[in-house]
Chain A
Amino acid sequence: MNALEIRGLSHGFGRVQALRDVSLTVAAGSFAVLLGPNGAGKTTLVSLVTGLYRARAGEIAVLGHSVRREPLAALAGLGVVFQTPSLDLGLTVRENLLYHAALHGLSGADARDRIAAGLARLGLGDRTNARARALSGGMRRRVEIVRALLHRPRLIVLDEPTAGLDAASRRSILTDLRAACREEGLAVFFVTHLLDEVDSDDPAIVLREGAVVWTGAARDMPAAAGMATVPDAFLALTGAA
């Protein structure tokens, strides 16, 4: 069963067509990258996958559960890191995580254990009682990743999680995610426009103006586009070259 399966997805706002007939799959336990320039429809796609609003046409299945027909089952197996930071800055790290745990039906003791383990794993063990406002951008992002993994989803969707972070934070976030993918079989759907975050083996999907223009292993992208490097190929595929 695929972690994420999208077929014929189209959506628009008013007269603006944000997504056109998008189909893609993310295999269980894989690290898939969705690439696209700003405005390609990446965030709309994430909003539809997470059920924030409903697509005009097409089907989305998360872990085999249709987002339209079984939204709660789909959400239960899904972790999300949204593009805009979404920690409650007035609350502490622990309070933010406990809130999320409660929303996902985790009881007190279980939640506390998972929070301690998750924070320790991402090197945030000493920040448990800090107000979110007092954390740096990179730390806030890592807390959001801990939060997204708290209910042990089988698929995590991250919408440009490294945008605006320094090199060290970006590297540490990617290393942690790749480790979780490799060691725990977590499927990762990583949305980005930063090409240096893509490994040559990663399955990649390129989005341009709301449509998928290329799918395959990242290393095959240059050949397909008749270019020498992945960045050149990306620019050619997205019409910027």
Chain B
Amino acid sequence: MRARHAWLALRGIVVREWLRTLRQTGRLAAALVRPLIWLGVFAAGFRSVLGLSITPPYQTYVLYEVYVAPGLAAMMLLFHAMQTSLAMVYDREMGLMRVLLTAPLPRWYLLAVRLLANVLIVLPLVYLFLALAKFWDVRPPSLGYAAALPALVLAGMMLGAFGLLLSSLVRQLENFAGVMNFVIFPAFFASTALYPLWRLEDASPWLAWIARLNPFTHAVELIRFALYLRLESTALAVTAAAFTVFFALAILGYDPGRGFWARRGEA
């Protein structure tokens, strides 16, 4: 693999994913409106019900909106990852995947670039959401927005790799809606996106354990701490490890010799 070829392919894949996403204006609007509805409606209602004590990284009592904003940013990454995964299955059924996989570049590279391309697409939307969240008094330190960038990229790659793995396992487009319901909702609700861990402990210790084991929790906490200029090393380690495992399994899934996909004779 020559560096120049690798670079041109990366650029080509990013441009293609951009063009496709930009032409789906409905999807873009939904991606932005969804977390804003959560923030404006759900969080407003919850605020009165749910009291929050001082939890790191926050040094004072915070409004529920402030607590939930990083979780909603992670939710945007999660939804986007699942939609990208759906697009992979669609591409496979439409034969578009073959165009990618017959390029003279290593498969792991092609898949990694596609992952990265899709994370780069969703990032501007996440930042737009964080900017709009200021209207709800979600105001992390200015430098926090910059510090959150690597956290958002890693979290996006981890969730995207999970989506890629799913796309290699799911046989048909029709099955995908079911898979999404079984992935998005448990990942989101059994995490610290909406309620801090001690709240979950109060409700049910086993739920708290599920949340602790849920990689999405660690993605959320990585982003939350980064926004307040702190590094949560456990979250970083778990997110990075989850990315490595999911991506390695996804590559296996798309391997021409061993892949689940190759065995079934679809392409």
Contacts and interface: CB of A to CB of B under 8 A. Distances in A.
Interface of A: 13-14, 18, 44, 47, 50-54, 71-73, 75-76, 78, 80, 82, 84-86, 88, 90-91, 95, 98-107
Contacts of B96: 86, 88
B93 to A, nearest CB: 9
B29 interface: no
A52 B102 contact: yes
Interface of B: 1-2, 4-5, 8-9, 11-13, 15-16, 19-20, 23, 94-96, 98-106, 110, 256-257, 259, 261-265, 267
B103 A104 contact: yes
Contact of B104 (A76, A84, A98): A76
A132 to B, nearest CB: 11
Closest 6 pairs between A and B when the two form their complex, measured CB to CB: A102-B12, A105-B5, A53-B262, A103-B103, A86-B95, A54-B257
Given A103-B99, A106-B8, 17 more contacts: A47-B267, A52-B102, A52-B267, A71-B256, A72-B105, A80-B102, A82-B98, A86-B95, A86-B96, A95-B16, A99-B13, A99-B15, A99-B99, A101-B12, A102-B15, A103-B110, A105-B4
Contact of A98 (B4, B12, B264, B265): B12
Contacts of B103: 75, 103-104
B70 to A, nearest CB: 33
Nearest to A76: B104
Contact of A84 (B95, B100, B105, B261): B95
A155 B195 CA distance: 59
Given A98-B12, A105-B2, A105-B4, A72 B20 contact: no
A53 B265 contact: yes
Given A52-B101, A53-B256, A54-B262, A90 B23 contact: yes
Contact of B263 (A13, A71, A80, A84): A13
Contacts of A71: 104, 256
Contacts of A106: 8
Given A82-B95, A82-B98, A103 B105 contact: yes
Nearest to A50: B102
A103 B9 contact: yes
B265 A44 contact: yes
30 contacts: A13-B263, A18-B265, A44-B265, A51-B101, A52-B101, A52-B256, A52-B262, A53-B256, A53-B259, A53-B261, A53-B267, A54-B256, A71-B104, A75-B102, A78-B102, A82-B98, A86-B96, A86-B99, A88-B96, A91-B16, A91-B19, A98-B15, A100-B99, A102-B8, A102-B15, A103-B9, A103-B13, A103-B100, A105-B2, A105-B5
A73 B103 CA distance: 10
A150 to B, nearest CB: 12
A90 B8 contact: no
A72 B257 contact: no
Contacts of A102: 8-9, 11-13, 15
Most chain A Cβ neighbours within 10 Å, of B11, B13, B99, B261: B99
A103 B13 CA distance: 8
B11 A50 contact: no
Contacts of A52: 98, 101-102, 256, 262, 267
